[in-house]
Amino acid sequence: MRTKLHLPKDRVDYARQLAQRITAPVAAFIDNHSSVTVERASLRLAGADGANADGVPVANLVVDQIRAADPALLEDGALRRYVNALVKTGEGVDGLNAKLAQGFDLMSLALGEPAAIEDKAAQLVEASASRIKDNRAHRDRKLEEFRDRNSKPLLYLIVATGNIYEDVKQAKAAAEQGADVIAVIRTTAQSLLDYVPFGPTTEGFGGTYATQENFRIMRAALDEVCEKQKRYILLTNYASGLCMPEIAAMGALERLDMMLNDSMYGILFRDINMYRTFVDQKFSRMINAYAGIIINTGEDNYLTTSDAFEKAYTVLASQFLNEQFGFRAGLPAKLQGLGHAFEMDPTIKNGFLYELSQAQMAREIFPEHPLKYMPPTKFMSGDVFKGYAMNTLFNFVSKATNQGIHLLGMLTEAVHTPFMMDRYLAVENAKYVMNSMEDFYDDVEFRKDGIIVRRAHDVLTQTINFMEEVEAIGMFDSIERGLFAEVKRPKDGGKGFEGLIKKGPGYFNPFEDYLARELGLS
């Protein structure tokens, strides 16, 4: 990529080296641990589906039964007991799931021959992998068939009614108006549930429950629009929170295309334990990598608690770190939608130039990444005319810096279910701006001594200084001290800490082993 900001390559390389060194101790911790949701995600990939009469998912029932018998047994992994039950009972996964939902205790069965368990597990891995590969192949075929029919950047719109069937109506209308990506916002606080609800849902608040059946319903609806519009409509949900890897597994099985997936978001803004969620993040990203799902990271959220001008360097630092965590999970650059946002106070003189600088800097440092660019939210005005002008400037910056995923700004920002007219106006604004400046990126250069270039150099320098401090302190201690987003989180506190599991010498997870081999991690 031709540089416009003249960033020194050796300094960018040094920042990446710092990110590698910062993430290495975290990666070592991750590789020695599992969690209850990693185990449940593996069970779901094996076919553990359904729920009992009280709505407790079968995957949770299995983990809870093992833990009730002896918590130390989870150090060997939950799959061993589930697969053992398949072998001992002679049931298929559907039959065993039904029995478990009716109260059958798989811990009543003695462990059988290891070879029989391993052979059966290999069959389950192959069946799941085949389904995910077929989903990825279908997506690739449609993207090739409808090549160049989607916008550049991809126009991303949300639906959030709480009712999956109403979401379908809004999603189809938004896609027909021109949206390329539909994101189904999760119901408020689902990230804090340590289970995934079962079946279709109609009573979410501020969003719709992420369930496998809701994924299937929305995917089928958007596929209808794909054929009608001759564009591939990408479906997005949230592989974050206490069930991060489980939702990634469901998304892979139901052909979702993007997943919001960032442990730092959960740590800082949902008070989820840092150890637990870093472990969860890696396995979820391995699943996403294998399924060809683009992750979206949450750096934009830093700017809701920190000043976007003063703390811009924390966004860039987090992008460097997220990149390394992604690589360590087998995610190539093309599947990393690193996040940032147009969030500076609009009263800042030359604020537009600083926003342009930040966005161009991200584009040049991460040239192969489908960057996820977020609209103004923190300073959005109740004056819809001013808000429309702010979104127009945001649209301009996004196109001018060649972003990859463009989240459309809404007139009624902060209202959970924006009106359909807001979506229509958001799409029309973006289409007008982006069409009128189609080749702007290739036609414009910046003065070497100008505001835009100087700002980028300053932020890079601040980022390196910050990352040197993080390396000296350590990632976990840096989070505890509030270096990121000015939010402090204790290492042994937060939600879900009790669900962390140290792997024992006999740990058995053939799905993790398979993914590691396929992704070149082992």
pLDDT above 90 for 212: yes
In a domain, 249, yes or no: yes
Instruction: Please tell me the predicted confidence (pLDDT) of residue 420.
Output: 75
Instruction: Please tell me the predicted confidence (pLDDT) of residue 264.
Output: 94
In a domain, 383, yes or no: yes
- Segment 357-371, tens digit of pLDDT: 999 999 999 999 999
pLDDT above 90 for 404: yes
CB atoms within 10 A of CB 54: 6
**Catalytic option among 172, 282, 311, 372:** 372
- Segment 80-96, tens digit of pLDDT: 999 999 999 999 999 99
pLDDT above 70 for 416: no
- Segment 368-400, tens digit of pLDDT: 999 999 999 999 888 889 999 999 999 999 999
Name the token pair of 170.
């809004």
In a domain, 214, yes or no: yes
Instruction: Please tell me the predicted confidence (pLDDT) of residue 303.
Output: 86
Instruction: Specify burial of residue 18 (Cβ count, 10 A radius: 0-12, 13-18, 19+).
Output: buried
Return the C-alpha torsion angle 204, 206, 210, 214, nearest 10. Answer: 60
More confident residue, 421 or 291: 291
Secondary structure in 3-state letters for 196-216: CCCCCCCCCCCCCCCCHHHHH
Strands 33-35 and 500-502: antiparallel
In a domain, 286, yes or no: yes
Instruction: Please tell me the predicted confidence (pLDDT) of residue 417.
Output: 59
Are the CB atoms for 336 and 322 separated by under 8 Å? yes
User: What is the C-alpha separation between 34 and 136, in angstroms, rounded?
Assistant: 27
**Catalytic option among 300, 311, 313, 354:** 300
Instruction: Please tell me the predicted confidence (pLDDT) of residue 327.
Output: 98
**Number of compact structural domains in the chain:** 1
Per DSSP, the chain holds a count of helices (H) and strands (E) of 20, 11
In a domain, 307, yes or no: yes
Q: If pLDDT is split at 50, 70 and 90, which confidence band does 332 have? A: very high
Name the token pair of 184.
């189904």
- Segment 38-90, tens digit of pLDDT: 999 999 999 999 999 999 999 999 999 999 999 999 999 999 999 999 999 99
Q: Which residue has the tokens 């065993």?
A: 96
pLDDT above 70 for 214: yes
Q: For this structure, is 265 an active site residue?
A: yes
What does the pLDDT average to over 268-281? Answer: 96
Contacts by residues 501-506 (CB-CB < 8 Å, ≥ 24 positions apart): 501/33, 501/34, 501/35, 501/36, 501/38, 501/39, 501/74, 501/75, 502/32, 502/33, 502/34, 502/75, 503/32, 503/33, 503/34, 503/75, 503/77, 504/72, 504/75, 504/76, 506/75, 506/76
Q: Tell me the CA distances in angstroms from 102 to 41, 96, 147, one per residue in order.
A: 21, 10, 48
Helices (H), 401-488: 420-436, 440-443, 451-473, 475-480
User: What is the C-alpha separation between 454 and 456, in angstroms, rounded?
Assistant: 5
Instruction: Please tell me the predicted confidence (pLDDT) of residue 265.
Output: 92
List, as one string, the DSSP characters of 505-517. Answer: TT---HHHHHHHH
Single-letter amino acid code for the residue at 162: G
Name the token pair of 247.
């939702």
Q: Which residue has the tokens 């042994």?
A: 492
Instruction: Please tell me the predicted confidence (pLDDT) of residue 414.
Output: 62
Instruction: Please tell me the predicted confidence (pLDDT) of residue 405.
Output: 97
pLDDT above 90 for 102: yes
Instruction: Please tell me the predicted confidence (pLDDT) of residue 412.
Output: 78
User: What is the C-alpha separation between 38 and 245, in angstroms, rounded?
Assistant: 6
Q: What value does the mean pLDDT of the chain take? A: 95
Are the CB atoms for 248 and 261 separated by under 8 Å? yes
User: pTM to 2 decimals?
Assistant: 0.96
Q: For this structure, is 372 an active site residue?
A: yes
Instruction: Please tell me the predicted confidence (pLDDT) of residue 305.
Output: 85
pLDDT above 90 for 166: yes
Instruction: Specify burial of residue 475 (Cβ count, 10 A radius: 0-12, 13-18, 19+).
Output: buried
Question: For 461, what's the count of Cα atoms within 13 Å in the CB-facing half-sphere?
Answer: 6
Single-letter amino acid code for the residue at 185: I
In a domain, 51, yes or no: no
pLDDT above 80 for 2: no
Based on C-alpha coordinates, what's the Rg of the chain?
23
Helices 36-46 and 114-145, interaxial angle, to 10°?
Answer: 80
User: What is the C-alpha separation between 466 and 460, in angstroms, rounded?
Assistant: 10
In a domain, 505, yes or no: no
Structural domain range at position 393 = 149-452
In a domain, 373, yes or no: yes
pLDDT above 70 for 418: no
List, as one string, the DSSP characters of 200-264. Answer: -----SSS----HHHHHHHHHHHHHHHHHHTSPPEEEEE--GGGHHHHHHHHHHTT--EEE--HH
List, as one string, the DSSP characters of 471-496. Answer: HHH-HHHHHHTT-STT----TT-SBT
Are the CB atoms for 221 and 171 separated by under 8 Å? yes
pLDDT above 80 for 173: yes
pLDDT above 60 for 109: yes
Instruction: Please tell me the predicted confidence (pLDDT) of residue 468.
Output: 98
Q: Which residue has the tokens 């989903």?
A: 135
User: What is the C-alpha separation between 423 and 233, in angstroms, rounded?
Assistant: 16
What's the CATH code of the domain at 416?
3.20.20.440
Instruction: Please tell me the predicted confidence (pLDDT) of residue 150.
Output: 85
Run of H or E residues at 334: none
Instruction: Specify burial of residue 257 (Cβ count, 10 A radius: 0-12, 13-18, 19+).
Output: buried
- Count how many residues are written for the chain: 522
CB atoms within 10 A of CB 33: 19
Instruction: Please tell me the predicted confidence (pLDDT) of residue 431.
Output: 95
- Segment 423-441, tens digit of pLDDT: 889 999 999 999 999 999 9
Strands 33-35 and 405-407: unpaired
Return the C-alpha torsion angle 335, 259, 45, 129, nearest 10. Answer: -30
Name the token pair of 30.
């991750």
Instruction: Please tell me the predicted confidence (pLDDT) of residue 503.
Output: 98
Beta bridge partners of 162: none
**Catalytic option among 82, 195, 232, 265:** 265
